[in-house]
Structure 1
């Protein structure tokens, strides 16, 4: 694929891995992300179809993430012949977040090179807890790991796992306007995709804080930073915000 005439080696590369039971041909996630990045026009957008590996019992799917990540890393080794590592950004939703984390770790072992940025969108919680066999996405998988938690403690992990972790709406498992955990779980990629569209980079401004209640009480005095596409890659810690999705997105 890297040698396809549609692939421009001069542009950056964004690789998206989707979650459990999501396929390339039936995914709103991939459709929205591809539209957003095509609007920018400055990247090669690539979607990983891991459906055959993660369209099964959830536990088996979870244990396949490490192997899928290893295979992606082997593909990235070939990509590095054409594109410098600093031009690669990996994004994963749900189980896909753990897949790209694994890819980042395996690429380090294979080449001693580190991906500059990995974005985890509500990394899957079941089977990825402390003390269990699967470690999942973690800081160190890339130079900078940013994470958006939209269904913390249920389908998504609650604890911070990146260099910076965003909690839109706080620790509540249901985002505003959501009446199911699946809706909330999807909000993470919807938030991020909205910020990819040109002009939307600062739609979701967050403040470093310990809780949403402290934020509401104006007890978090730090500067606001954008969540999503334009996040500063030198920040650390947990950030909270209350802004809702734009109706137009």
Structure 2
């Protein structure tokens, strides 16, 4: 049977919400726990939003997409594909994502509503439905192509289980889709899957993936041309660490991928990824350059990847890492800090740095490892601050060695240099010949690096 003959064509019930012309809007399927307990069978609906109807979805006929007058096949099309819905409620982020996508460019935004199918208490049933839903969506996109749409202008954005669904669609179309974005692809049932059984780079001309919960509901590894790992791709700042927090303990890290993506689309946070072999190496300051992407800068999470697509396709699979704060706008201010020490006795310690502006300050705790401090040793650190305080009027530094008894040893810094990573137009700031005691804070006024006064 042909794919487009297998599609479920649905007619949604009238909504309370109406368009300007008085015509009822088509809304995302809203279910509840009783549906999930009883189980739902797959039923795929496609809801169209454009700049002309952002507040009022229009359901598209699967077999005749051009019959929907707002659906312009000459425009790019972005398909938003949700994941597992154990409560049956619509995703809270749908409306926000639709609006932000429409702001990027004039496009068709199509919400793939497979809530009937995804809403099952039995996760394994929802996983099984992803293949059938992918066949449905594949048939629709093939019909689009037959009616004049270009596959290279199709962008699938899949969330969790929806990321693998998007990958199945891409594989069905032999990787001819322009782009797939996977937001924390689901891990359960896919951990040991082969590339044919999950999202992988061959599913589209360009695949970008964001990881936020690899140690629980997300999938470990690299599965795109570029994989972004927020805070290492696992535990996210601000998320509960104990089960006593209730539902949030289970979903917070996994959902953070969507909130980071929304923030990136909204351009309120610029989240730069640094190519590196591991998050530990990134935190050690070993991966703070992006020569392979020049003349472009390091890759930035978001919608427009035109600057980085060519080098990424040339490099193959690339892993990039970044850190965030616990809340909006998520962005950390990063400095590369280079120190040259000249203390007489070998000391090991962690470093605390504060930037002061007026009465305000922000602190970076570089405490993930002990640093070796001895005579004429160059040490590079990555200092990440939660706030961007300007102008920096004072810097204070403390080196904690853990020594609580006995004399405090002197630590001499021949030079300390701060290189702003996120704001390269800002000048480098330095200080020379600082004498300090271990475990004691010392403050100084930063100077331009070409000055020793």
Q: TM-score w.r.t. structure 2 length?
A: 0.50
Name structure 2 gaps, 5 residues minimum: 1-59, 241-248, 291-297, 331-453
CA distance in structure 2 between the aligned counterparts of 1:40 and 1:98, rounded to whole angstroms? 24
Give 1:25 shift: 7.0
Identify the residue that residue 79 of structure 2 maps to in structure 1: 15
* Bigger RCO (CA 8 Å, 6+ sep): 1
Q: Secondary structure at the match of 2:181?
A: strand
Counterpart Cα distance in 2 of 1:118 and 1:23: 26
Q: Does 1:62 align with 2:123?
A: no
The 4+ residue runs of structure 1 with deviation greater than 4 A are 22-25, 131-134
Aligned residue in 2 for 1:178 = 239
- 1:148 pairs, out of 188, 202, 210, with 210
SS in structure 2 of the partner of residue 162 of structure 1: coil
Q: How many equivalent pairs are there?
A: 241
Change (3 A) 1:216 1:183: same
**Equivalent residues in 2 for 1:79-98 (5 A)?**
79-80=144-145, 81-98=147-164
Partner residue, 2:304 = 230
What SS is found at the alignment partner of 1:239? strand
**Between Structure 1 and Structure 2, which shows a larger proportion of strand residues?**
2
- Partner of 2:204, secondary structure, is coil
CA distance in 2, matches of 1:133, 1:217: 32
Is 1:163 matched up with 2:230? no
Shift of 1:39: 2.6
Q: 2:178 aligns with which of 97, 116, 140?
A: 116
Change (3 A) 1:229 1:132: closer
Distance (Å, rounded) in 1 between the aligned partners of 2:259 and 2:70? 27
Contact 1:63 1:134 in 2 (8 A): no
Q: CA contact under 8 A between 1:13 and 1:89: conserved in structure 2? A: yes
Deviations 1:85-127 (A, max 9, x none): 111100100110011111111122xxxx610211110000011
Q: By how many angstroms is 1:156 displaced?
A: 0.5
Question: Where does residue 246 of structure 1 map in the other structure?
Answer: 328
Q: Deviations over 1:14-53 (max 9, x none)?
A: 0010010179972222111112123334111111011111
For residue 247 of structure 1, report the CA deviation from its aligned partner.
3.9
Larger radius of gyration: 2
Return the structure number with greater helix share: 1
Give 1:59 deviation, angstroms: 0.9
Relative to structure 1, the CA distance from residue 148 to residue 159 in structure 2 (aligned partners, 3 Å threshold; closer, same or farther) is: same
Taking structure 1 as the reference length, what is the TM-score of the superposition? Answer: 0.88
